Amino acid sequence: MRTKVSFNAAGTRCAGYLTLPAETVGLPCVVLCHGFSGTMDRLFDYAERFASAGFAALVFDYRSFGESAGEPRQLPDIGGQLADIRAAVAFARSHERIDAERILLWGNSLGGAHAVAVAADDPRIGAVVAQIPFNGFPKQVEGRKARETWKLLGAIVYDRLRGAAGMRPYYIPMVGRPGELAVTATSEADNHIRTLTGGGETLWRNRIAPRALLSMMRYRPGAAAGRLSCPLLVCAAADDRETPVATSRELAEAAPEGELRVYPGTHFSFYTDPSFRDTVVADQIDFYRRAQAEV
């Protein structure tokens, strides 16, 4: 049963959906955190899979994305998103059917980094799954030419200056074709867009305020992983160019109870392949159950 919910995060309304299994109380709850430009609707399938396994599952949009409030739109703010996750955790803990001491975090891409960072400062979190997590930008983006990199850096700086002047963002596409100004420019751009939209109506928008990339350049979730007091499972894709296995391995190795699982596929296999997802989510459910059994 999926129910629309909302909660307040530092004065901003965040919208979400809570999926609950059959009438039961004292449920463990997985709080799911989407990625850099993502929206919660891409996580509904994951939430339903966790609920089928007996977990409550909460998905939500960060401020300025999807159904949540917040201006300017499409501007990822790391500090704000971390506050949004903490508010989501507080909402889950207050729910009458959820066990406040059995909150589990799950994050995808940038959301994976956030899940680690939030859990590092919250010893009540029971376990964390970081799926294809962001852990710093790769030194070289495969297929991106130097002039294209400089073009993107110019857009980042220009948008940052507009922000400092109180002007609306200078938006660029999140996904584009090679040679286009976009955060991710690949020959498979059309396929990637279909992946992110699910091929139909979606909350996701193919535009982003690039100034957000400046704060990501300084974001190091690996440092937070060393402070985790709960188990961490990092799920990586062998052929991932966006969040490479090497950086995922660093995240897992930094955690006192870190575990890395590498699956054949790319960054987008986690979105597009139902049979692939069957295997991954089964492993994640097993990990959460083991983590709870060890408490």
pLDDT at 267: 82
Whether residue 257 is predicted with pLDDT greater than 60 in this model: the reply is: yes
Whether residue 143 is predicted with pLDDT greater than 60 in this model: the reply is: no
Segment holding 275, helix H or strand E? helix 274-293
pLDDT at 134: 95
Tokens (6 digits) for 94: 């207050």
CATH classification number, 2-140+217-293, choose in 3.40.50.1950, 3.40.50.1820, 3.40.50.460, 3.40.50.300? 3.40.50.1820
Q: State the burial class of residue 274 (Cβ atoms within 10 Å of its Cβ: 0-12, 13-18, 19+).
A: exposed
Alpha-carbon span 257 to 230, nearest angstrom: 7
pLDDT at 199: 59
Neighbours of 203 (CB within 10 A): 17
Neighbours of 191 (CB within 10 A): 13
- pLDDT tens, residue by residue, 204-226: 899 999 999 999 999 989 999 99
Identify the band that residue 202 occupies on the pLDDT scale cut at 50, 70 and 90: confident
- Residue whose entry in the numeric block shows the structure tokens 């400046």: 214
Whether residue 193 is predicted with pLDDT greater than 80 in this model: the reply is: no
* Mean pLDDT, the chain, whole residue set: 92
pLDDT at 130: 98
Whether residue 295 is predicted with pLDDT greater than 90 in this model: the reply is: no
pLDDT at 263: 95
Taking residues 257-274, report their average pLDDT: 87
Segment holding 190, helix H or strand E? helix 189-197
Whether residue 141 is predicted with pLDDT greater than 70 in this model: the reply is: no
Taking residues 6-26, report their average pLDDT: 94
